[in-house]
Structure 1
Amino acid sequence: MKMKLLTAGLLTSLMMAGSALAMDSETIEKHMDKINDQYVQTSEEEGKVEALEEKVEALEEMIQMIIEDQEA
């Protein structure tokens, strides 16, 4: 159940990221690379569920940053 919730949260976050086109794509790509690297490291150290939780949280932060950038 927790995995389904995380997956749904991730998909929702990605749909919201559609507005990310206004942000520099290179910046987004670098940030996504950082998130993915942290996911790999966390999954090796703490397990996949914990890694997914952290990845969803990081994606939500990135989306919030994009939204704030668009409002400015």
Structure 2
Amino acid sequence: MGRLIDEMKQAIVDVYPLLFDPIYQTRIWGGRRLETLLGRSLPPAEPIGESWELSDLPGAESRVRHGPARGRPLHAL
């Protein structure tokens, strides 16, 4: 019984709201407007045209922003 309780406690700790770092896409039509629309700082001196909030494409994998899974890509969760 003690082992089951320990496993349940660990499962509760592992469940938390996951936030991901956005992936900003440079586009020729881009600019700085997403800074005000999203209330974020964008990479400097680049025309940002898209903000991918969640992606699992090769080379553009969203990563967890905080907590025990910090830095892990979406497909590894």
Name the TM tier (shorter chain): under 0.3
- Structure 2 length normalisation: TM-score? 0.25
- Structure 1 length normalisation: TM-score? 0.26
Higher relative contact order (CA closer than 8 Å, sequence separation 6+): 1
Rg (Cα) greater in structure: 2
